[in-house]
Amino acid sequence: MTKIARPTTPEIDQAVASVWERVLGVPARRGDQLLDVLAGSFGAVRSQKLGRLLSEIGAATGVHLPLTVAFGSPTAEALADMVRRREWPAYVRPVRMKSAVGRPLFVLPGLGAMGLDVVELIRHLSFPGSIYLCQPQGIDGKPPHDTLEATVADHVRVIRAVQPNGPYWLLGYSWGGVVALEIARALRASDQAVGFVGMIDPVVSETNWPYSAWLGYMKDRVRHHVKVLRQVTSLRSALSYGNKLLVPLVGRTSRWLGFTRWQPLVTEADILPVPLPALWAAELKVIEGYRMQYYDGKVTYFAMNSGHAASCDPEKLWLPRVRLLDLKWLPCDHFFGPSVKNTADMITTIMLQSGEHTQSSEPAEHYVGARDVA
């Protein structure tokens, strides 16, 4: 049997540096951290770049690093060292993004659950306690949960392993906002106090929209598109614009009627690295089956003019479903963009003003079970 020689240290360093520069477009020798580089991309592109980076490193070196190494925000040099040693940090949920004194804040990411969509926001939050990123099960290849009950129960277990008793502070982004609300419901059902529940531009299936909200959405969209079409100068341009509208319109209408065949997010999962497509499919199943129920507590809703609040009036959708809705408007779009620091400052201020309990002075060492992210 022919023995295959392992790559030497210089070969590994060169291979990792070459892939880093080709995929991420920044010099490896500069020492950039991975999360900082990925922050320059948006949506599924972040996860796609990460998957391609690790896949090509694996093809070049024979060592396949898991997606979870990203949360240590390694440099190209650190990735090369992991490959050389064939060792990398263990993945522990939830990931502690910031250590501090006081009760922690648990942040739930949006659809896809990798959490890269909220990393930059978390880094700018000046919250006085520790901050944890709470991804659902499945990032590390374990079977993801495909029911709301199992998803929430798993999150509660992970959160209480860090903080056994309330009050709990929860902040969710996009679909994670709804998950945060359901976690709060489960904690309260267990006689645990919830100090804060925040939803950042939460998304729910159109099947939850009331009739009045749906009519309002259609009226606004028709007015907008008529205005655009009036400025079109040729029939060809008008037909092209109308064709671009057809699929989103059919998709949103069909989802409101209870059909999910036209779900546009399904196609985005095709560009994601393993194991994220399976996680997306499981989360989409939960989203499609989610039905809003009354929450007998306070919820802070962070709305964005160009986010989901632009599609469905938050007050029409949420006021009948929570005891107290604290609606706050943020000057940014769904993906935060370059205003992420200002957005984080506003969210922090509102959280600390809206929280029902003051921050505890208990030492950070009281909360154990997760590692820090560099």
Asked whether the domain spanning 95-205+267-366 has the same topology as the one spanning 9-85, the reply is no
* Confidence (pTM): 0.85
Whole-angstrom distance, CA of residue 277 vs CA of residue 280: 5
Q: Is the pLDDT of residue 87 over 90?
A: yes
Contact 98, 35 (CB under 8 A): no
Q: Is the pLDDT of residue 302 over 70?
A: yes
Whole-angstrom distance, CA of residue 200 vs CA of residue 332: 11
Q: Is the pLDDT of residue 334 over 70?
A: yes
Strands (E) across the chain are located at: 95-98, 105-108, 131-133, 168-173, 194-200, 295-304, 322-330
* All structural domains of the chain with their residue ranges: 9-85, 95-205+267-366, 208-259
HSE (side-chain half, CA atoms, 13 Å) at 251: 13
- What 3-state DSSP class applies to 93? coil
Q: Is the pLDDT of residue 1 over 80?
A: no
Residue 215 backbone zone (phi > 0: left; psi -120 to 50: alpha; other: beta)? alpha
**CATH 3.40.50.2020 assigned to 95-205+267-366:** no
Longest dimension (CA), the chain: 74
HSE (side-chain half, CA atoms, 13 Å) at 43: 7
Residue 296 phi/psi, 5-degree rounding, is -85, 65
Assigned fold of 9-85: 1.10.1200
pLDDT value for 156: 98
CA distances to 14, 82, 151, 168, 353 from 205, in Å: 47, 41, 17, 27, 30
Q: How confident is the model at residue 366 (pLDDT cuts 50, 70, 90)?
A: very low
**What is the DSSP track for 284-298?**
HHHHHH-----EEEE
pLDDT value for 3: 52
Q: How confident is the model at residue 363 (pLDDT cuts 50, 70, 90)?
A: very low
